[in-house]
Amino acid sequence: DIQMTQSPSSVSASVGDRVTITCRASQGISSWLAWYQQKPGKAPKLLIYAASSLQSGVPSRFSGSGSGTDFTLTISSLQPEDFATYYCQQANSYPITFGQGTRLEIK
Amino acid sequence: QVQLQESGPGLVKPSETLSLTCTVSGGSVSSGSYYWSWIRQPPGKGLEWIGYIYYSGSTNYNPSLKSRVTISVDTSKNQFSLKLSSVTAADTAVYYCARAYGTFDYWGQGTLVTVSS
């Protein structure tokens, strides 16, 4: 199985801050990576697919980059509604696997 | 707008079989472009992919659960289903159904299934 490791596990930030979350795959996955946002009691929401493509309807302050084994999700200017848990997911090979999650908290 | 809705018992006894159904609206499980998946999330923990089914009936399961999982599709009802046998407390989780093309773009709201006697 491909292991997905996110860092940090949690981060505190303020509205307006720029935040970067990292996801590392245990082996190369090309650009087969997605990012999701999950709020308490809700299903995950797709933000980014194919490592850097913005899902329709997602604000442009979210961006993704990377290929191979190292990927990043950047939120350029945090808004109050962005405080949530973020997961990466690889779709390169089965079984599909997710990172352990990064909790973004208000400072 | 595609919508998915999980349904099924919220409480299952240990050693019994968990059964859930996902009803799809606004789209068709017969679409050849997508795979129909189940994902679960234990309380306070991360996401685990369970498996998927294609409209043709072909399946792919997570090896960690493969011996206990069956996913089926009913194209006439636009539904797909999950069965997980011999459940234990470790199977207590929110179970989500989702549409996938590698990436999961539409999700159900999730249903909590508790395994307890």
**pLDDT of B32 strictly over 90:** no
**pLDDT of B79 strictly over 90:** yes
**For all residues of chain B together, what is the average pLDDT?**
96
**pLDDT of B83 strictly over 90:** yes
Low-confidence ranges of chain A (pLDDT < 50): none
The sign of the torsion formed by the CA atoms of B23, B5, A91, B28 equals positive
Instruction: Name the one residue in this structure whose structure tokens are 């973004």.
Output: A104
Give A82's DSSP letter: G
β-strands A102-106, A10-13: how paired?
A: parallel
Chain A residues touching B22 at Cβ < 8 A: none
* pLDDT value, residue B55: 87
Angstrom distances, CA of residue A7 to CA of A20, A21, A74, B105, B107:
9, 6, 13, 24, 25
Partner A, chain B 25-84, Cβ-Cβ below 8 Å: 46-49, 60, 62-64
Length reported for chain B:
117
**pLDDT of B102 strictly over 90:** no
* Alpha carbon distance A4, A58 (integer Å): 23
Note whether A46 contacts B103, CB cutoff 8 Å.
yes
Chain A residues touching B104 at Cβ < 8 A: 34, 36, 44, 46, 89
- Using alpha carbons only, give the angle A94, A95, A100 rounded to the nearest 5 degrees: 130
A34 close contact with B: CB closer than 8 A: yes
How many Cα neighbours within 13 Å face the side chain of B79? 13
For B63: left if phi > 0, alpha if psi spans -120 to 50, otherwise beta; the answer is alpha
Q: Which of A46, A97, A100 sits opposite B105 (nearest CB)?
A: A46
* pLDDT value, residue A107: 87
A57 close contact with B: CB closer than 8 A: no
pLDDT-based confidence at B108, cuts 50/70/90? Answer: very high
Select from B95, B12, B14 the least CA-distant residue to B51: B95
> Measured between CA atoms, how close is A46 to chain B, in angstroms?
6
**pLDDT of B31 strictly over 90:** no
The b-or-e profile of A17-42 (16+ CB within 10 A means b, else e) is eebebbbbbeeebebbbbbbbbeeee
The helix (run of H) or strand (run of E) holding residue A21 is strand A19-25
Report helix, strand or coil for A80. helix
* Alpha carbon distance A6, A101 (integer Å): 6
* Alpha carbon distance B115, B40 (integer Å): 14
In degrees and rounded to multiples of 5, residue A75 shows phi and psi of -110, 115
Chain A residues touching B98 at Cβ < 8 A: 43
> Measured between CA atoms, how close is A4 to chain B, in angstroms?
12
* Alpha carbon distance B63, B10 (integer Å): 25
Closest residue in A to B95 (Cα–Cα): A43
Q: Which position has the higher pLDDT, B96 or B102?
A: B96
**pLDDT of B33 strictly over 90:** no
